[in-house]
A and B are shown apart, each in its own frame.
Chain A
Amino acid sequence: MAVLRPYLYTGGVYKHGLLIELLEDLGGYIIQQVVTGTEVNLIMLIPEKDVSVVKKQSDELLGILVEAPLTGVEIAVVSPTLASHHLPHSACDTAEYLRHPGANTNMIGLARGMGRRVSLSMDYERKLINEHDIAVFTFGSFSDCIINKKPKLFEGIEIPIVVTGGPDLKTEEVPGADLYVGNIGRTSHRLRKTEEVSALDKLNEEVGKIANNIRKQQAKDPLAVLPARVMKEIENQVPEIRTVLSPSPLTLQLNGLRVKLPYDEFHERIEKLEFDEGVILSELASISRSKMKNYILIKIKSKSDVGFTI
């Protein structure tokens, strides 16, 4: 199977179709295409050996092609609540910054996550968070809370947990966290000072490492089908997806994807999605109702489960 590398292209709208055609010829995938005025952003997966070809085309169009290590990763940014204490700064700033390297982020405000003794999460919220690839919890400024009180919110979370907060702590000091990044505590201003931006840069870098670790783990027992391929097949076989107005109607995850179509109406067609090899999607993946709205969640099984890959 060809190894695909995630890249982000930024350039003018003029002739950007050439790049899309080239990518299709090479067997790559367009994950997301955002046209804003005269500018276009393309997030794409390029076959590793053909990166130089795409780079050449991008240079001709005077665009910029950079690696986007978080492409195809869906991240939950979890804030204790959605009160003005945490939003828009710093939770939104964190979520926005994680999008730069290609991630899709969803903000989740817990209903009763605030406070020390009283903070708690609900079963529904934990299941919703577990639908993502990585969870980023945005906490406040007190080390006592972050070390002793808040980790109870991690109970039942099965995906890697990243914690941001004000104080300069070590990851080992925060029980249950896979990564702690300091200097992003509670603020009432936009994060734009040098030390704040470098903390966000560090966050992106470290989250990128976590995503790479998951990919490496996956490489040992690969998925039965690439999520990007499922995405393309849905675009071809379920044309209604083009009428969906939600941002990124097909959201890629490391081991599946979220389809922003109503479950009851569409799940059968998604289950019967056909591949050239003669298999249908329900043989390769489990398809369930997402906790997010009424969407469809596809989690692709691994080779050891299915017995083959396509």
Chain B
Amino acid sequence: MMDSLEVFDVESAIASEQEFYRKIIEDNLSSLKLAPAIGRIKVVLRPEDSLFQMAIILRDVGTRVTTNDIADMEAKPIAGEIIISIKKEQYIPELLGKLWDRYGKANISQPDRWTVTISTDQPREEEAFLKDMMVADPRHRLHENLVDFAIRVTPEGFRVRYHLYKGNQFIFVASEEALKHEWIEEAGTMLEELMKGGKK
């Protein structure tokens, strides 16, 4: 199992510029909350060639999350409600979104940070349904964020882009000029190095 950001390399000809860029990448990783999902990352900058290359190895981010994974549920047939006690707070926005769609906002209340109550006529049946309801798909969200991240960190003028997302590997190459084959191959080599644990 990889640690998050086990390897974090930024390479550029001028050391100070490398540091600026490292900071830009760090800021964007944290604003997109991507840091826990990335195991190893390497970025190579060659402004003189108008070239930006990035290779990322992702950590195992787990599979789909159901309500059961993030909360305990209790049906109260007499009161006509279901009480959900949240265990993992990070998925609350998604959970609430799904519940609002299904039951309407008026029937959902949140008496405190960790509790959500649903008013319904069929608490038992609904409880059974909710147990297996998919709340979030981290892989889907990850892909979206990863593409967003790549575009945010790339210099803005580099509009010709190539990206590859396969399993836990992600390659991104961007330039202002038509992309050369060797640039993409170089990014492939960067990825292979990362697989071996990165150049130390």
Contacts and interface: CB of A to CB of B under 8 A. Distances in A.
Contacts of B48: 144
Contact of A115 (B24, B27, B158): B158
Interface in B131-158: 152, 155-158
Given A115-B176, A118-B176, A144-B47, A166 B152 contact: no
B158 A186 contact: no
A141 B27 contact: no
Interface string B25-52: 0011001000000000000010110100
Contacts of A189: 23, 27
Nearest to B21: A141
A63 interface: no
B100 interface: no
Closest 10 CB pairs of A and B: A115-B157, A188-B27, A141-B20, A142-B47, A114-B157, A114-B156, A85-B156, A166-B20, A144-B47, A189-B27
A84 B24 CA distance: 12
Contacts of A186: 20, 24
Interface in A82-135: 83-86, 114-119
B17 interface: yes
Nearest to A182: B16
Contacts of B152: 84-85, 188
Contact of B17 (A114, A115, A116, A142): A142
A189 B159 CA distance: 23
A189 B152 CA distance: 13
7 contacts: A80-B157, A86-B156, A117-B176, A167-B16, A168-B16, A187-B24, A188-B27
A142 B14 CA distance: 9
Q: Tell me the interface secondary structure of chain B in the complex.
A: helix
Taking each of A116, A185, A186, which has the highest tally of chain B beta carbons within 10 Å of its own beta carbon?
Answer: A116
Interface of B: 14, 16-17, 20-21, 23-24, 27-28, 31, 45, 47-48, 50, 152, 155-159, 176-177
A217 B28 CA distance: 46
Contacts of A168: 16
A81 interface: yes
Given A118-B176, A141-B17, A142-B45, 16 more contacts: A80-B156, A83-B156, A85-B152, A85-B155, A114-B157, A115-B155, A115-B158, A116-B157, A118-B157, A141-B20, A141-B21, A143-B14, A143-B17, A187-B20, A187-B24, A189-B23
Nearest to B27: A188
Contacts of A86: 156
Contacts of A256: none
A140 interface: yes
A145 interface: yes
A257 to B, nearest CB: 34
Nearest to B31: A188
A145 to B, nearest CB: 6
A81 B157 CA distance: 10
Contacts, number: 66
Interface in A178-217: 185-189
Contacts of A166: 16-17, 20
A80 B176 CA distance: 15
A287 B155 CA distance: 41
A83 B21 CA distance: 18
A163 B121 CA distance: 66
A167 B14 contact: yes
A116 B50 contact: yes
Given A85-B152, A115-B159, A119-B157, A188 B17 contact: no
A32 B176 CA distance: 45
Nearest to A142: B47
Contacts of B176: 115-118
A117 B178 CA distance: 12
A199 B27 CA distance: 20
Nearest to A140: B155
Contacts of A84: 152
A143 B158 CA distance: 17
B24 A167 contact: no
A233 B23 CA distance: 51
B157 A188 contact: no
B24 A188 contact: yes
Nearest to B154: A85
A274 B21 CA distance: 57
Nearest to B176: A115
Nearest to A112: B157
Q: Give the residue among A85, A141, A185 with the most B Cβ atoms within 10 A.
A: A141
